A and B are shown apart, each in its own frame.
Chain A
Amino acid sequence: MSNKDYNDIPGTTIFDGDMARKGYWVNQFCMSLVKPDNRARFLADEATYLDEWQITAEQRTAVLKRDYNTLLSLGGNVYFFSKLFFTDEKSFEACAAQMAGMSQPDYRAMMINGGRAVAGNRSTRVEDR
């Protein structure tokens, strides 16, 4: 796909067709965790459970490490990740803080103070920040 007017937004991956193709199986793996039996099997033996899915070695390592920013670059989508957050009994806030590279208390304090400002975060192009 061409003409992506959103690729200059810093720290942001837009889940378009290219990403959805790349991440198809890793997202489908996450989706499987909406079933209690699958959650139990995954938590009991993550590596064996992941063997059942056609994911790449890089995606597999990122899932095992819960490295969500890397998973985003490999086609993962945050709404699918949320099944994994909740399987791990983590809140969305905790996982968003992790992706933002912040501790949860610091992230929460930023949100209470009005959130991350848009100024400076619009574009990686200096003139459009």
Chain B
Amino acid sequence: MAKITAGISTSHVPALGVAMDHGNTEDEYWAPLFKGYEHSRQWMQENTPDVVVLVYNDHASAFSLELIPTFAIGCAEQFAIADEGWGPRPVPAVEGHPELAWHIAQSAIEDEFDMTIVNRMPVDHGLTVPLSMLFGQPKSWPCQVIPIAVNVVVYPPPSGRRCYHLGQAIGRAVESFAPDVDVQVWGTGGMSHQLQGPRAGLINQAFDQAFMNDLVANPELLMHKPHIEYLREAGSEGVELVMWLIMRGALGPHAKELYRFYHVPASNTAVGHMILQSA
């Protein structure tokens, strides 16, 4: 049977991809940040999954204002790298796992989560930066990826409670898949940041650290955090953190923390990264 072996969270700041693609990771500005991911890259080499269910948000790349799915699951064989205005990132195309993706879609829909099934979905930095942070710069990605895109661009995003419950449904779906597949669930985005308007640059380190503590020990508490609290305390784009709750929900009620890294800033954003396992 398939099994969820770990949950990973990480910010997905586009500038991290640019720093890697241009070979700037050892600059004074970026070095401390990339150092914080060295342990995780090593850990990933020793714990490479077969499949990553990668929860992220599309940043007006696959989805314009024409179509705005709240939860979309990528069921294709392959996902192209999106052009976000400066040409696609020079990273390998992303290989999907259609059989497991369709299984998760069917299971989640029967579980009352009305997923949008997507077969053509160019993936942007929201998905590729986490892969680059955890796997470096390989010629091809070492595992297959099932993208789950969550709308956090047009307000309101799904509630924290809905996200946590979707994570639980993904957990049930994976564990009812017959083949022996090692699956990790990744939740990306955040942490505190605001990219727009005169309040741009807002960071709240106390909020972020408390969020990481609660993600491990009190996810039920986080589940009830209203959107207004993210907007006010963690910046208008900080609400992306609801995507970490999908990962956390997939791990079951108890989790242990294997690793945590936190750094300010990456461009406009506080970067947080954790490795969790079911306990």
The interface of chain A, by Cβ under 8 A from chain B, is 5-6, 9-17, 20, 24, 27-28, 30-31, 33-36, 39, 68-69, 72, 77-80, 82-87, 89, 91-93, 96-97, 99-101, 107, 110-112, 114-118, 121-123
**In the assembled complex, which residues on chain A have CB atoms less than 8 Å from the CB atom of B199?**
9-12, 100, 116, 121
Among the 9-residue stretches B35-43, B58-66, B130-138, B244-252, the one with 4 or more Cβ atoms under 8 Å from chain A is: B58-66
The chain A residue with its CB closest to the CB of B236 is A12
Query: A91 to B15, alpha carbons, bound, how many Å?
Result: 8
**In the assembled complex, which residues on chain B have CB atoms less than 8 Å from the CB atom of A15?**
153-155
The chain B residue with its CB closest to the CB of A25 is B65
The chain A residue with its CB closest to the CB of B201 is A116
A122 touching B232, Cβ below 8 Å: yes
B154 touching A9, Cβ below 8 Å: no
Contact of A36 among B65, B83, B227 (CB under 8 A): B83
**In the assembled complex, which residues on chain A have CB atoms less than 8 Å from the CB atom of B196?**
12-13, 68, 72, 78, 96, 99
A114 touching B205, Cβ below 8 Å: yes
B91 contacts the other chain (CB 8 A): no
B114 contacts the other chain (CB 8 A): no
Chain B, interface size category, equals 35 or more
**In the assembled complex, which residues on chain B have CB atoms less than 8 Å from the CB atom of A30?**
60
B84 touching A83, Cβ below 8 Å: yes
The chain A residue with its CB closest to the CB of B203 is A115
Query: A89 to B60, alpha carbons, bound, how many Å?
Result: 18
**In the assembled complex, which residues on chain A have CB atoms less than 8 Å from the CB atom of B2?**
none
Q: Which of A36, A78, A79, A117 has the most CB of B within 10 A?
A: A79
**In the assembled complex, which residues on chain B have CB atoms less than 8 Å from the CB atom of A101?**
198
A72 touching B153, Cβ below 8 Å: no
Query: A115 to B59, alpha carbons, bound, how many Å?
Result: 23
Binding site secondary structure of chain B: loop
Return the CB mask of B5-16 against A: 1 if under 8 Å, else 0.
Answer: 000000000110
Besides A12-B236, A92-B15, 6 more A-B contacts (Cβ < 8 Å) are A9-B232, A82-B59, A99-B200, A118-B203, A118-B233, A121-B202
Return the CB mask of B199-217 against A: 1 if under 8 Å, else 0.
Answer: 1111111010000000000
**In the assembled complex, which residues on chain B have CB atoms less than 8 Å from the CB atom of A107?**
201
6 nearest A-B pairs in the assembled complex, by CB-CB distance: A115-B203, A86-B85, A11-B198, A11-B199, A111-B265, A78-B196
Query: What are 25 A-B contacts defined by CB distance under 8 Å?
Result: A9-B231, A12-B194, A12-B231, A12-B236, A13-B197, A13-B236, A14-B231, A17-B155, A20-B154, A33-B85, A36-B83, A36-B87, A68-B196, A78-B196, A82-B59, A83-B85, A86-B85, A87-B86, A100-B200, A100-B201, A110-B201, A111-B201, A115-B192, A116-B194, A123-B232
B82 contacts the other chain (CB 8 A): yes
**In the assembled complex, which residues on chain B have CB atoms less than 8 Å from the CB atom of A114?**
203, 205, 264
B233 touching A69, Cβ below 8 Å: no
**In the assembled complex, which residues on chain A have CB atoms less than 8 Å from the CB atom of B197?**
11-13, 69, 72, 99-100
**In the assembled complex, which residues on chain A have CB atoms less than 8 Å from the CB atom of B236?**
9, 12-14
B86 touching A89, Cβ below 8 Å: yes
The chain A residue with its CB closest to the CB of B87 is A36
**In the assembled complex, which residues on chain B have CB atoms less than 8 Å from the CB atom of A115?**
192, 201-204, 264-265, 270
Q: Which of B15, B84, B268 has the most CB of A within 10 A?
A: B268
B202 touching A96, Cβ below 8 Å: no
B23 contacts the other chain (CB 8 A): no
A118 touching B268, Cβ below 8 Å: no
Taking the nearest CB of chain B, how far is it from the CB of A120, in angstroms? 11
The chain A residue with its CB closest to the CB of B198 is A11
